[in-house]
Chain A
Amino acid sequence: MSISEMTALELGRRIRSGDVTVLEAVQEALDQIKKKEPDIHAYVTVDEEGALKRAAKVQAMIERGDLKGPLAGVPAAVKDNLCTKDLLTTCGSNILYNFVPTYTAEAVQNLEKAGAVILGKTNMDEFAMGSTTETSAFGVTKNPWNTDHVPGGSSGGSCAAVAAGECFYALGSDTGGSIRQPSSFCGVTGIKPTYGTVSRYGLIAYGSSLDQVGPVAKDVSDCAAVLETIASYDKKDSTSIPRKDLDFTGALVDDVKGMKIGIPRDYFGEGLDGQVREAVMRAAGILKDRGAVVEEFDLSLVEYAIPAYYVIASAEASSNLSRFDGVKYGLRAKEYEGLHQMYKKSRSEGFGPEVKRRIMLGSFVLSSGYYDAYYLKALRTKALIKQAFDKAFADYDVILGPAAPTTAPKLGESLKDPLKMYLGDIYTVSVNLAGLPAMTVPCGQDQAGLPIGLQLIGDCFQEKKIIRAAYTFEQTFTRREER
């Protein structure tokens, strides 16, 4: 097995045993990056020099016995909306084209403490707004399975980098499906944890009440290990929740006997691609074969999730993004007269069309006279959606469905019709509105050879249940494929 084919945990084991050095692992990843980046463009910034320096340091620490964790020395990539001290952090936006943070995001710091070597920063839809990674100001990322197709988004760079072997795992962020949907499109595994599980400190905010950082990896085990590493209670994030059940790798159990799995009928209606439906139902069958109790049920309110999500996320974004004004950091227009024009020109030049669209939408729904009709109504809808999930989780341990209605669309197709693109988020956004954990696991391919992802949703703080179901599915599915 070549190094680049190894999972993160496998590589970690080899590094600890001395089979592979950290430098060799980093060099291998850098070689893959050199080879594949011209076609894929998963990274905005590759920090070759920093990674090599860090590799030597980590190697020494492992040899001294200062680093013993399963991910020590394993090279990783970080989405470009997570602040990294002294390393360019653009959020995929021209307005931050030159922004070098003065501090490192808590989740990344947790990785570094565990001995991770950061290879660079991955491409993303501008400010995480988009489902294709085409709205980045620094070029389009392509799907490693077929470069005529998008990788999904907004964590498209992270998912493509993992799928292409340009890193061993990556961090993404998920506000409305930004980890789960591109994981589905790229055939990798990703988790959006319960809101409050991973610190948002240093994550450049899109929709603060919905944003969560999460892992993107080659398999369920890697995902659980990375989540275990980045999850922590952080006093710097008021929405961080102290939890004692962060030993997610303990849930890697190949057994679902007696587990109650609900399949929402509402997720299998109009708009769902037939091949996706088939693959997902086949996955449900596998879990049933393994002893799970699988039932269909009506979740309800599914059609209200998208409008509620776009109102809330855009409202928060319109305020979150107002700090990008050319005064303190980032892009400032070259020529302007007076303060007002400096603001206007800097922001006009700095933001792309999708970001502008959402800032305008968000500003509108918060304006006096519209606040109650849109923003408050969306918040009420959010509460009702949470109630619908509460009701479902009274009956089921895990909810199973597709991560996206289709496989990866062709490049350029989605942005032509933003509304249709928004509708593609139908299976993912309600999870963020309800603050739930959910993950995507590959469950097959369509006839064109593009990956299909299975989504498993858990109740708040029930990551272990979805990890267990995902692991059991993955193990069984792999055994069957190999047969």
Chain B
Amino acid sequence: MSRQYETVIGLEVHVELATKTKIFCGCSTEFGGEPNTHTCPVCTGMPGSLPVLNRQVVEYALAVGLAANCQINQYCKFDRKNYFYPDNPQNYQISQLYLPICHDGWVEIDTASGKKKIGIHEIHMEEDAGKLIHDEWEDCSLVDYNRSGVPLIEIVSEPDMRNADEVMAYLEKLRLMIQYLGASDCKLQEGSMRADVNLSVREAGTSRLGTRTEMKNLNSFKAIARAIEGERARQIELLEDGKKVIQETRRWDDNKESSYAMRSKEDAQDYRYFPDPDLLPVVISDQWIQEIKSRQPEMQPEKMARYQKEFQIPEYDAGILTSTIHMARLFEKTTALCGKPKEVSNWLMVETMRLLKEHEQTPEDLSFSPENLARLIALVDEGAINRTVAKTVFEQIFAQDVDPEKYVEEKGLGMVSDQGALRKAVEDVIAANPQSVEDYRKGKEKAMGYLVGQTMRAMKGKADPGMVNKIVKELLTK
């Protein structure tokens, strides 16, 4: 390859909002449930039914738009996107085309070469579709409308990204921002955050955009990264062979690590968008915007800076602690209870992360209470249990949110501080290991460690290692 190419990437990110009810009816948005149980005449497209906008959807969209430095269309409208498909009960999707709620914003990401602004073209509100289930056995398709009408926002970026790293950073930025706002849990795997990648390549140094393709069905950050690499390579190969890139929608198959064309621009549908006459324009007052602004929570960059300054947490650790709102909340609440930020950070950074990895879980899955972690830290601090025991207890807190005080008492894990009992245990160990005693006396310092270990074992770990050390040394040098 003689020529140098630049990749140009824009993203369309769909985010499922965390409202309790659907966007145009009162049905629950909860996951699961028997097929078609979270439905009503509105979200199943019954004749005569009418949509009524859920205000919370507008509030979430505004919150995200304001956090992404967007302009707000204070007079915005819903439009109908007309297309036939059975997962869409009305055969039109209520979305926004002409006057989306937010436009012309930006978010800042960290790249290898410093900070970079990624433009937000627009953010619009729309409804999700139902799910088609193909029954191979009966050779028929079934529709479940439980997801029909679940609120989404679509965040359309400008074509400002140049490589997979920037795309990852941008997605991570959106995920953090939206999670912090409480507008969505943004789980790619579960589909509450979905990204379509628009990608084109051009010769480095040129300014005209190449023909782009749109890649769909990207279910994880890794799939997105692989799809970007794959599509970049495919387009460059076409150009190198003197062929043209066709504007089309492609579907990524992450198992095969390749994509195939779904439809080209020529057979793209005409969606015949027009303003939905069943819904009134949404008028957003200055006051409403002010209210949302005043309610915006502390966002991740500010939180991270505050942890470093207020709690003297190192930058790297502060980054991890604030990488999900769940972890940050746990950190703050536990710290408020026990007043030991460094201890809390340590438990979260080391043991919690280890256990999450072991259980293949994410911080969103954490279910233990800050109270129990705070109590555990206090127990260690008071010397009631040693660190080894504390780790065992923490595993129980992590798994079942046990009360550490009760657990320690029930299992008899409290530290033995009875001097007499300890001395007796050490004497027994020394008596049982004459060879080690001999070695120590010949100058093998290591032998003492062995004897301490044997004593700890005999005490089932419930002894203060410092005290055991002292007694062993005392008896050996006698």
**Contacts from A to B (Cβ < 8 Å):** 82-83, 89, 91, 96, 99, 101-103, 105, 200-205, 207-209, 235-239, 315-316, 318-319, 322-325, 327-329, 339, 343, 363, 366-368, 371, 375
Q: CB-CB < 8 A to B280: which residues of A?
A: 238-239
CA distance A343 to B85 in the complex (A): 10
Question: Is the beta-carbon distance between A238 and B41 smaller than 8 angstroms?
Answer: no
Question: Is the beta-carbon distance between A239 and B278 smaller than 8 angstroms?
Answer: yes
Q: CB-CB < 8 A to A235: which residues of B?
A: 52
* Residue B319 at the chain A interface, CB threshold 8 Å: no
Q: CB-CB < 8 A to B277: which residues of A?
A: 207-209, 239, 316
Can you name the residue of chain B whose Cβ is closest to the Cβ of A205? B48
Question: Is the beta-carbon distance between B51 and A238 smaller than 8 angstroms?
Answer: yes
17 A-B residue pairings within 8 Å (CB atoms) = A83-B47, A91-B47, A101-B48, A102-B41, A201-B48, A201-B49, A205-B48, A207-B277, A235-B52, A315-B274, A316-B274, A322-B91, A323-B91, A327-B89, A327-B143, A371-B272, A375-B274
CA distance A312 to B84 in the complex (A): 21
Q: CB-CB < 8 A to B86: which residues of A?
A: 325, 327, 339
Question: Is the beta-carbon distance between A366 and B274 smaller than 8 angstroms?
Answer: yes
Can you name the residue of chain B whose Cβ is closest to the Cβ of A376? B274
Instruction: Name B46's contact: one of A82, A91, A101, A319 (CB within 8 Å).
Output: A101
Can you name the residue of chain B whose Cβ is closest to the Cβ of A340? B84
Can you name the residue of chain A whose Cβ is closest to the Cβ of B92? A319
Closest CB in chain A relative to B131 CB, distance in Å: 14
Given contacts A322-B90, A325-B91, A367-B272, contact A238 B278 (CB under 8 A): yes
Closest CB in chain A relative to B174 CB, distance in Å: 30
Instruction: Name A343's contact: one of B41, B84, B279 (CB within 8 Å).
Output: B84
**Contacts from B to A (Cβ < 8 Å):** 41, 44-53, 80, 82, 84, 86, 89-92, 143, 270, 272-274, 277-280
Instruction: Name A103's contact: one of B46, B84, B89 (CB within 8 Å).
Output: B46
CA distance A99 to B272 in the complex (A): 28
Instruction: Name B48's contact: one of A203, A366, A367, A368 (CB within 8 Å).
Output: A203
Can you name the residue of chain B whose Cβ is closest to the Cβ of A237? B50
CA distance A323 to B89 in the complex (A): 6
Q: A207-B277, A235-B52, A375-B274 are in contact. List 15 more A-B contacts (CB 8 A).
A: A83-B47, A201-B48, A202-B48, A205-B47, A238-B51, A239-B278, A316-B277, A319-B272, A322-B84, A324-B47, A327-B143, A328-B44, A328-B89, A367-B270, A371-B274
Q: CB-CB < 8 A to B273: which residues of A?
A: 366
Q: CB-CB < 8 A to B45: which residues of A?
A: 323, 328
Instruction: Name A366's contact: one of B50, B53, B91, B272 (CB within 8 Å).
Output: B272
Question: Is the beta-carbon distance between A236 and B48 smaller than 8 angstroms?
Answer: no
Q: CB-CB < 8 A to A201: which residues of B?
A: 48-50
Q: How many A-B residue pairs have CB under 8 A?
A: 95
Closest CB in chain B relative to A313 CB, distance in Å: 10
Can you name the residue of chain B whose Cβ is closest to the Cβ of A325? B91
Q: CB-CB < 8 A to B272: which residues of A?
A: 318-319, 363, 366-368, 371
Can you name the residue of chain B whose Cβ is closest to the Cβ of A344? B84
Can you name the residue of chain A whose Cβ is closest to the Cβ of B278? A208
Closest CB in chain A relative to B138 CB, distance in Å: 16
CA distance A203 to B47 in the complex (A): 8
Q: CB-CB < 8 A to A82: which residues of B?
A: 48
Question: Is the beta-carbon distance between B84 and A238 smaller than 8 angstroms?
Answer: no
Question: Is the beta-carbon distance between A325 and B84 smaller than 8 angstroms?
Answer: yes
CA distance A368 to B53 in the complex (A): 27
Closest CB in chain B relative to A399 CB, distance in Å: 25
Can you name the residue of chain B whose Cβ is closest to the Cβ of A208? B277
Question: Is the beta-carbon distance between A319 and B48 smaller than 8 angstroms?
Answer: no
Closest CB in chain A relative to B171 CB, distance in Å: 31
Given contacts A102-B41, A366-B272, A367-B270, contact A323 B47 (CB under 8 A): yes
Can you name the residue of chain A whose Cβ is closest to the Cβ of B51? A238
CA distance A202 to B273 in the complex (A): 24
Interface centre among B52, B80, B82, B277 (most CB of A within 10 A): B277
Question: Is the beta-carbon distance between A368 and B84 smaller than 8 angstroms?
Answer: no
Closest CB pairs A-B (n = 6)? A322-B91, A209-B277, A366-B272, A208-B277, A202-B48, A204-B47
Given contacts A101-B47, A371-B274, contact A238 B53 (CB under 8 A): yes
Question: Is the beta-carbon distance between A96 and B47 smaller than 8 angstroms?
Answer: yes
Question: Is the beta-carbon distance between A322 and B82 smaller than 8 angstroms?
Answer: yes
Q: CB-CB < 8 A to A319: which residues of B?
A: 80, 82, 92, 272, 274
Q: CB-CB < 8 A to A208: which residues of B?
A: 277-278
CA distance A339 to B270 in the complex (A): 19
Q: CB-CB < 8 A to B84: which residues of A?
A: 322, 325, 343
Question: Is the beta-carbon distance between A83 and B48 smaller than 8 angstroms?
Answer: yes
Given contacts A208-B278, A339-B86, contact A368 B50 (CB under 8 A): no
CA distance A239 to B279 in the complex (A): 7
Q: CB-CB < 8 A to A209: which residues of B?
A: 277
CA distance A316 to B90 in the complex (A): 13
Can you name the residue of chain A whose Cβ is closest to the Cβ of B90? A323
Q: CB-CB < 8 A to B52: which residues of A?
A: 235-238
Closest CB in chain A relative to B41 CB, distance in Å: 6
Q: CB-CB < 8 A to A363: which residues of B?
A: 272
Q: CB-CB < 8 A to B44: which residues of A?
A: 328
Closest CB in chain A relative to B410 CB, distance in Å: 55
Interface centre among B48, B53, B89, B273 (most CB of A within 10 A): B48
Question: Is the beta-carbon distance between B47 and A200 smaller than 8 angstroms?
Answer: no
CA distance A67 to B289 in the complex (A): 48
Q: CB-CB < 8 A to A205: which residues of B?
A: 47-48, 278
